[in-house]
Amino acid sequence: MLNDYPSKSASVGPGLYIHVPFCRTKCNYCGFYSKPIAEYDAGAVVCAMIAEMERHESLESIKTIYIGGGSPSSLTQEHLLHLVNRAKLLCPAVEEFTVEINPGHINKALLSKLRSAGVNRLSIGAQSFIQRELDLLGRGHTVACIHKAVRQSRAAGFDNISLDLIFAVPGSDLNSWKHNLQAAIELTADHISTYNLTYEDNTPLSRDLAAGVIRSVDEDTDRAMYELAIDELTGADIIQYEISNFARKGFECKHNLNYWANGSYVGIGPGATSYLPGARSTNLTDFTRYCEMVRCGASTLEESETHNSLERACETAVLNLRRRCGIDLAEFRTRTGFNAMQLFAESIRKYQELGLIEKTGGRIFLTRQALGIADSILCDFALV
């Protein structure tokens, strides 16, 4: 059933994403771009990131800031606060300011300083409330650390806390996954993101899987875990508003709502991606080259691509359909110039007949039955 979230995402952005490309240790499943912080001069990279940010002229209109990674909390307190303070100063109109934190990296003093600096939302990488699963994932923190992080965050004045959870961890079942969901609910999380474990190439977990050291959870159980998340979280009034994201009313992540609306955002830091109307670009990942380009005032871009109007419309449709509210047909036409019902007529007809897409109230959206296989459906909207 379609939830009652409005399509307010259209007016949220633009956003600023700051990519901290460091971790203290790499998790066993992680395929994201990051490097061990002990092997690099993190202070020099942070200074370059701030310099890159300062040369942007469009930051005064930024509505959301998201500092992710990597692991922002792997930075020293001095470096992280320097980054936060400059971002806040350069973005006076910001409404939502999120920082990702690892439960094992923070303390009361840092949390209080982040809150005082203007950060008003935390995304905590809990991943599991079962120690065996945390150890297998290589998280490096304990279950007790998660509880402590949430407790200290509330004490520091944070009233908008998100928890990340991973399901389909080898050795898990529906009972263990339900335990994880209930633990997050009992911590009164305002927002919960749930992701099924994927085996990225060249990660320790993918190598263990290939060697037969671990076994992946079967597809039926994986799907059942996803369905259980929807039921358990909805029952606790934590409503699904995107394929992998759930929130209490009013606590949807504004930064990501802008992303799913295909709104514009600026990316700062090595490997960060920016999207401005019609153009997507990615920064250099090599730290030395990145810092040198910033220092001499040259472009930090490694690649850039321009999309034509049809490509932008398809991209917008795919992102919109990730939201439970789906595509607002009037908004889509205003933003892209295309009639979605005509542009995607064949795909819409096919999936309506299969009960996977519904049209009502000026919207088209995925039905619950479609959510677990959304990627295969969205492929048909990526190209027409």
Q: Give the model's pLDDT for residue 12.
A: 77
Distance CA 22, CA 62 (A): 25
- Asked if 315 contacts 309 with a C-beta cutoff of 8 angstroms, the reply is no
The reply to whether 179 falls in a domain is yes
CATH of the domain at 85: 3.20.20.70
pLDDT over 60 (residue 236): yes
Higher-pLDDT residue of 26 and 139 is: 139
pLDDT score, position 57: 82
11 — pLDDT class (breaks 50, 70, 90): low
Contact 40, 287 (CB under 8 A): yes
b/e map of 35-69 (b: 16 or more CB within 10 Å)?
Answer: bebeeeebeebbbbbbbbbeeeeebeebbbbbbbb
Q: Average pLDDT of 334-349? A: 97
pLDDT of residue 344: 98
CA distance linking residue 384 with residue 367, whole number of Å: 22
* Cβ within 8 Å of residue 164, ≥6 positions away: 123, 124, 125, 126, 127, 192, 193, 195
Q: How far apart are CA 169 and CA 162, in angstroms?
A: 20
In this prediction, residues 148-165 reach a mean pLDDT of: 98
Domain that holds residue 236: 8-260
Regarding whether 314 and 225 lie in a shared domain, the answer is no
Share of the chain above pLDDT 90, in %: 92
256 and 314 co-located in one domain: no
**Could you give the CA distance from residue 109 to residue 155 in angstroms, rounded to a whole number?**
11
Asked if the structure places residue 271 within a domain, the reply is no
| Residue 47 sits in the same domain as residue 181 | yes
Bridge-based pairing state of the strands 363-366 and 327-328: antiparallel
What's the pLDDT at 6? 43
Q: Is the pLDDT of residue 1 over 70?
A: no
End position of a domain, from candidates 198, 227, 260 = 260
- Reported pTM: 0.95
pLDDT of residue 32: 78
Q: Do residues 248 and 120 share a domain? A: yes
Last residue of a domain, one of 240, 260, 280: 260
SS3 288: helix
Residue ending a domain, choose from 228, 260, 292: 260
Same domain, 225 and 95: yes
- Is 279 among the domain residues? no
Whole-number Å distance between alpha carbons of 299 and 52: 10
Is residue 108 situated within a structural domain?
Answer: yes
Domain identity same for 251 and 330: no
CATH number of the domain that 321 lies in? 1.10.10.920
Q: What is the C-alpha to C-alpha distance for residues 273 and 300, in angstroms, rounded to an integer?
A: 11
Cis peptide before 14 (omega within 30 of 0): yes
Shared-domain flag, residues 66 and 137: yes
334 and 256 share one domain: no
Indicate if the pLDDT at residue 198 is higher than 50.
yes
Q: Kind and range of the H or E element at 105? A: none
341 and 232 both lie in a single domain: no
Chain centroid to CA 334: 26
pLDDT, tens digit (0-9, with 9 covering 90-100), for 242-292: 999 999 999 999 999 999 999 999 999 999 999 997 799 999 999 999 999
* 275 lies in some domain: no
Q: Quick one: 192 and 319 in the same domain?
A: no
How many structural domains is the chain composed of? 2
What pLDDT is attached to residue 326?
98
pLDDT at 67 over 60: yes
Average pLDDT over the chain, rounded to an integer: 95
Does residue 272 lie in a domain region? no
Same domain, 234 and 142: yes
Alpha helices in the chain (DSSP H): 42-54, 77-90, 108-116, 131-137, 143-155, 174-186, 204-211, 219-235, 254-260, 287-295, 309-322, 329-336, 340-343, 345-353, 368-371, 374-382
**8 Å CB contact between 167 and 227:** no
Q: Among residues 69, 118, 115, 68, which one has the least CA distance to residue 95?
A: 118
Asked if residue 266 is part of any domain, the answer here is: no
Whether 209 and 351 share a structural domain: no
CA pair distance 86, 35, nearest whole angstrom: 23
Q: Can you give the pLDDT at residue 3?
A: 46
Residue 290 included in any domain: no
Q: Give me the count of residues in the chain.
A: 384
